[in-house]
Chain A
Amino acid sequence: NAGVMQNPRHLVRRRGQEARLRCSPMKGHSHVYWYRQLPEEGLKFMVYLQKENIIDESGMPKERFSAEFPKEGPSILRIQQVVRGDSAAYFCASSTGTANTEAFFGQGTRLTVV
């Protein structure tokens, strides 16, 4: 049973380009969470999705950021027109969604905007 898979591990984008980060949850997990880790900071919640639904996007910037978790395929975090401040490590986690169960994290995607 593979763990949470994120790709790419490293992504370099020029300012103004689009970044697409992928997260494949663990088998049997239908809940996905995206977090951002800025240098020297903790993990900041961005968005919580179930299959085909966004449950909570209160931590995601209103502009340029979007997330989806389609019926088939991985969850995608999309950042349009990236800026230098978007440079960070982006982690996704997945769980079964049952209250108080642990979530498993992927290894993260390190986005660098140049």
Chain B
Amino acid sequence: GENVEQHPSTLSVQEGDSAVIKCTYSDSASNYFPWYKQELGKGPQLIIDIRSNVGEKKDQRIAVTLNKTAKHFSLHITETQPEDSAVYFCAAGEWDNDMRFGAGTRLTVKP
């Protein structure tokens, strides 16, 4: 089955700096890689996803890159703001099989 590892587990940055979270996966059959943001007391919310036929995707200050050969993908947040502070989860898999999540990264953006 799929195994997803996520690093770092905690990340602290100054407001305005960039934040990068990295994930690796093991199952080469995985073709869907979403990222979720979980704010305190809430369920995870999808913020961006990427499919295996795409190497990079951007949405305003958020970007995700995928390297299928190396089996890793990353979340990049530029110009971080305090409201970006949350726990971020990566995931890999397909929705007709179980989606495996990383252990999460707690991002703190200091004003």
Q: Which positions in A face B, CB cutoff 8 Å?
A: 4, 6, 31, 33, 35, 41-45, 48, 55-56, 58-59, 91, 95, 97-108
Contact = CB atoms under 8 A, between A and B. Distances in A.
Given A42-B104, A58-B98, A107-B41, 13 more contacts: A31-B95, A42-B102, A48-B98, A55-B96, A56-B98, A91-B43, A95-B95, A97-B95, A100-B31, A101-B95, A102-B34, A102-B46, A104-B46
A44 B91 CA distance: 11
Interface in B44-94: 44-46, 49, 51, 89, 91, 94
B82 to A, nearest CB: 22
Contact of A45 (B41, B45, B99, B103): B99
Interface size class on chain B is 20 to 34
Given A44-B101, A100-B32, A105 B95 contact: no
Q: Which of A58, A100, A103, A108 has the most CB atoms of chain B within a 10 A radius of its CB?
A: A100
Nearest to B96: A99
B94 A42 contact: no
B6 interface: yes
Given A41-B103, A42-B6, A100-B32, A105 B43 contact: yes
Contacts of B103: 41-42
A104 B36 CA distance: 10
Contact of A105 (B44, B49, B96, B104): B44
Contacts of B91: 43
Contacts of B44: 43, 91, 105
A31 B32 CA distance: 17
Contact of A33 (B32, B99, B104): B99
Nearest to B100: A45
Contacts of A4: 43
Contact of B101 (A43, A58, A104): A43
